[in-house]
Amino acid sequence: MNDKKGAIWISAVIYVMIAVIVMVLVLEAGLPLIKGLTEKNAFNKIRNTVVALDRQIQQIASEGQGSQRVIPIEITDGELTVKDQKLRWKLETDTKIVESKSRVELGNLVIASDVDVTAAEVDNYFIVENSRIKVNFSKIGSSTNFSDINTSGIINNVFYKDNHVTTDGTFTFFVNDSSSLSGTGYTRLEDKGTSLTTAAVRAHINNSAMQYDILITLDSKADFFRANIENFQQK
């Protein structure tokens, strides 16, 4: 493979957020040792390169407007892209370089393996998705301003990407009996961002009989979501 060389021009006016994503697909065991060592060396090299680049960006940003320099970048393996104000390096490999479905943040550097969850607030909705499904949640009230809430209105729909089917049916959650279905409360997106291991939406329900939280979570690569009851209090 030929080395790919280039340069990144950095100005104090533009601050580049850095994210490094390592996609690790564990397909089989007993791979040739030399291949594993080569890919681990490539990972260590790009990690050190990006850490050094981040230091340069921090320094240039502190110097004020007009400060600039050219920084050479050499990539021998993987794919380097710049998108959405992020510098991203992606390596698809059979070698277990880091633990599957893990995410580590080292300042502006993010190292993630086999993760595909994205969570964002879009208009009056919370959108949580991975490579398999997309879940649309209603944005209701806030922790400081409760609104009317019914558990059947928390999830609007679920889109299954494998077969392009959208489920518009009602998802209803309750504790013990129907008295827990409605009240006042809010929904809140617990996690935001891309390349997350997991993301969740919390719904708080409060009425004259009880109060509790529903935590609805989507994991990487899963084609289902999990719902847990938390902080239950009987009145």
Residue 11 clears pLDDT 70, i.e. is over it: no
In this predicted structure, what is the pLDDT of residue 17?
A: 42
Residue 158 clears pLDDT 50, i.e. is over it: yes
Taking only the tens place, the pLDDT of each residue in 43-77 is 777 777 777 777 877 887 788 777 777 777 777 77
Residue 36 clears pLDDT 70, i.e. is over it: no
Taking only the tens place, the pLDDT of each residue in 177-231 is 888 999 999 999 998 888 888 999 999 999 999 999 999 999 998 999 999 999 9
Using a 10 angstrom Cβ sphere, with 0-12 exposed, 13-18 middle and 19 or more buried, the burial of residue 60 is buried
Residue 24 clears pLDDT 60, i.e. is over it: no
The reply to whether the predicted model has a pTM over 0.75 is: no
In this predicted structure, what is the pLDDT of residue 233?
A: 93
Contact between residue 87 and residue 6 where contact means Cβ atoms under 8 Å apart:
no
In this predicted structure, what is the pLDDT of residue 82?
A: 74
* Choice between 100 and 170, residue whose per-residue pLDDT is larger: 170
Taking only the tens place, the pLDDT of each residue in 104-140 is 777 777 777 778 899 999 999 999 999 999 999 999 9
Helix (H, G, I), strand (E, B) or coil at 121: strand
Angle at the Cα of 178 (from 207 to 128), degrees rounded to 5?
80
In this predicted structure, what is the pLDDT of residue 44?
A: 77
Helix (H, G, I), strand (E, B) or coil at 63: helix
Strands (E), the chain: 4-11, 17-18, 20-21, 68-75, 79-83, 86-90, 102-106, 109-113, 117-122, 125-129, 133-138, 147-150, 155-160, 165-167, 182-189, 193-196, 198-206, 210-219, 225-234
The percentage of residues in the chain with a pLDDT greater than 90, rounded to a whole number, is 39
